[in-house]
Amino acid sequence: MQLIIIIIWVRYYIKYQERPTMKIITLLTLLIVLPFCGFAAYAQQNEEVLHIYSSRHYDTDEALYDNFTAQTGIKIQRVDGKDDALIARLKQEGKASPADLFIAVDSGRLWRAQEAGLFEPIQSDILKTRIRDTLKDPKGHWFGFSKRARVIVYNTETVMPDEIKTYEDLTDAKWKGRVCIRSASNIYNLSLMASFIALHGQESAKEWAVGVLNNLARKPQGGDTDQIRAVVEGVCDVALVNSYYFFRLKRSDAQEDKDIIAKTDIIYPNQKTDGVHVNISGAGVLANADNKEAAVKFLEYLTTDQAQSYFASGNNEYPVLDNIDVPDALSPYMEFKSQDLNVSEFGVHQTQAQMIFDEINFP
């Protein structure tokens, strides 16, 4: 910018070399404008920026980023992508990576990043006190800031709610040809299987997977919303989905979604035994971060009541804090028993879960 102004000034100076008054005005203009240009350039270069790599692809999260900037003055530069692709990119970039923070939508993926040595453990009194121990890495590499439950959605016209109460019920012969689920390679199902391994061991988990495989209504395909649609379309009668997919449809104004909700409801499995499987969205400060202080500030900001409310109202997730206002559609579904596990267990047993699925040829 300064170079452009100098070039323009030289041209005008030459143009008005026979007119002393104009030469003086041009010179004074240069002396006044240049310092401001230098200040603007300096401010731009010294503007604090937090670089985030995120696999959360929800438009409603924009409010979180905008509000953080409004409160702190720290601008956010974000790279969005799929978890595994972002992890691979971070490994490839190494110390040259601009990223300060990595956000993922499953503790199993956060564990993958941790195992790759991408995170630096941090100490924060705010994160320590506001996030319960089961929802963060025990050594402080990453922290959960929203929750989702792996629930059973059922067709209210073909299934009575008391017919199915546990994950284990999905293996009963009465459900043969009536169960829908995503593929075994999906991280949600890997984490679910990992939780069964942590609770009951590999053999019990394998028996469950075989039972579900025998009862599938079709080869696994599509995402969680597709499983819900399949329940309504009569492809199957029950399906495993993450809770926020159901709540998203429940809060939708689209008639198609209203028609789906009118014929479905959800069950929180294992309320009298182990509890429902609960996973997280979470984030960690990267070991090669240039702006670790801002990254910690952002994590702490995500535990504020305002940010926690965004997760519920914006993406229909459960807050990790208690006593947070949630939309009316979620309110009746807030009380349930969860598995008594630290979510890091889903990463620890992830490889075993995949091996079991592969062994039984679960699609």
Using one digit for the tens of pLDDT, what is the confidence trace for 304-315? 999 999 999 999
Rounded to an integer, the average pLDDT of 205-214 is 98
Residue 271 in this model has a pLDDT that exceeds 90: yes
Compute the distance between CA of residue 78 and CA of residue 251 in angstroms, rounded to an integer. 28
Using one digit for the tens of pLDDT, what is the confidence trace for 23-53? 544 444 434 544 444 433 433 456 899 999 9
* pLDDT score of 58: 86
Using one digit for the tens of pLDDT, what is the confidence trace for 149-183? 999 999 999 999 999 999 999 999 999 999 999 99
Compute the distance between CA of residue 237 and CA of residue 230 in angstroms, rounded to an integer. 8
Using one digit for the tens of pLDDT, what is the confidence trace for 110-156? 999 999 999 999 999 999 999 999 999 999 999 999 999 999 999 99
Question: Which residue, 137, 213, 191, is CA-closest to 339?
Answer: 191
* Torsion-angle region of 290 (φ positive above 0: left; ψ -120 to 50: alpha; else: beta): alpha
Question: Which residue, 41, 50, 65, 32, is CA-closest to 289?
Answer: 50
* pLDDT score of 57: 86
